[in-house]
Amino acid sequence: MRFYMNARQMIRRKDIATAVLLVLFCPLLFASGPVMDRSRINGLEYVQLDDWARASQFQIKWITREEMRLISPSATLTFNADSRKIYVNGIQVWLSFPVALRHGSMWVSSLDIHSAIMPAVFPPRSAATKTLGTICLDPGHGGKDPGNREGKQQEKVFTLALAKEVRSVLSKAGFKVQMTRSSDRFIDLGERARWAKDHGADLFVSLHFNSADGPGSAAVNGIEVFCVTPAGAASTNARGEGATGSCPGNRFDARSMQLAYQLQKSLVRKLGAEDRGVKRARFAVLRFAEMPAVLIEGGFMTNPLESRKIYSAEYRQQLARAIVDGTLAYKKAVEQ
């Protein structure tokens, strides 16, 4: 009988202890994140945009039946059904998968929430002891690789000229600057990213000028900034496409997206250039970079008006200042 009573007391004490633990820890479990509706669309996990917006403290405003705007004190986001393009504070950002409209609700892929939208809107913070000090500039092409050619003009000449302008402005802003090349020489693509790592770069910025072909190509203009494609997604630009699996550059997806966004915003607003958006690609220099990395396409050599700007030293100085302003905005965002 005594054994039975002791057992009953032990059970009661165990039940009480369990109840106390539940009271203490259940709030933590429920606070771990908001419950959001999820759905499989074309085999991918999507999140209902309304749920994410409310959890992220955005107001929701429908502009039309196929356009939604999310508004907060710090950001305005615009989404259109069946489009991969969204706008973050008026700057075009390309998603990996199109926004879906189902039963009157907008849905966005979970991958895009985590790899594009969140990094652009809520900058990933650096460790308190980590500051941005060394930047590697990568003037595209060189040596036997001229890049784009328009008449006698070669892209490699102007990427190097731009890099030297950017280096000068960055140095005055207090950064240490490394360059993968400072003369007309060829460097293997994979070697450029390794060079940046070996020289302790905190950021990698590859500089290029664009071209277009086909009917109407002379009218194509504008600036675009690329960061590496997330694992499992298709690129906005498939030139130089690698495997769809993870690569070294994917370790820095969030920071690369924030850097690309800040640079695109600065370039578009300060130069008044056509906004072609923040895009994704698996270019070798982005795949193998072991630090946040972007590739800037600073205009089209195939556009008569834009090419004259590219060939102008005065315009390249403006371009350089806009790149540095975007870099400083990134530094401020991640070091706060």
Question: How far is the C-alpha of 85 from the C-alpha of 95, rounded, in Å?
Answer: 6
Question: What is the DSSP code string of 211-263?
Answer: ---STTGGG---EEEEEEPPTTS--SS-TT---SS--GGGGGHHHHHHHHHHH
Measured between its terminal Cα atoms, the distance across the chain in Å is: 66
pLDDT of residue 36: 74
Structure tokens at 137: 């500039």
pLDDT digits (tens, 9 = 90+) for 126-168: 776 678 999 999 999 999 999 999 999 999 999 999 999 999 9
Place of tokens 């809107």: 121
- Angstrom CA distances, 184 to 140, 160, 274, 277, stand at 10, 8, 30, 30
pLDDT of residue 243: 57
User: Does 302 score more than 80 pLDDT?
Assistant: yes
β-pairing verdict for 275-281 and 223-228: parallel
pLDDT digits (tens, 9 = 90+) for 212-261: 999 999 999 999 999 999 998 989 876 656 556 789 999 999 999 999 99
Question: How far is the C-alpha of 53 from the C-alpha of 90, rounded, in Å?
Answer: 18
Beta bridge partners of 293: 204
Domains identified in the chain and CATH numbers? 38-121 (3.30.457.10), 134-335 (3.40.630.40)
Helix (H) or strand (E) holding 9: helix 2-31
pLDDT of residue 265: 98
Check residue 92 and report its DSSP letter: E
Question: How far is the C-alpha of 67 from the C-alpha of 80, rounded, in Å?
Answer: 5
Q: Could you tell me which residues come within 8 angstroms of residue 26 by beta carbon, excluding any fewer than 6 positions away?
A: none
**Closest by CA position to 264, among listed 115, 96, 90:** 90
pTM: predicted TM-score of the whole model, two decimal places: 0.88
Question: How far is the C-alpha of 80 from the C-alpha of 257, rounded, in Å?
Answer: 21
What is the residue type of 175? F
- Angstrom CA distances, 334 to 61, 135, 325, stand at 29, 15, 14
pLDDT digits (tens, 9 = 90+) for 23-54: 333 333 333 445 678 899 999 999 999 999 99
pLDDT of residue 279: 97
pLDDT of residue 4: 35
- Angstrom CA distances, 177 to 7, 292, 329, stand at 73, 15, 17
User: Does 186 score more than 60 pLDDT?
Assistant: yes
pLDDT digits (tens, 9 = 90+) for 42-88: 999 999 999 999 999 999 999 999 999 999 999 999 999 999 999 99
Give me the sheet containing 105-109, strands edge to edge.
38-41, 44-48, 105-109, 100-102
Three-state secondary structure call for residue 179: strand
Structure tokens at 74: 């710090």
pLDDT of residue 196: 96
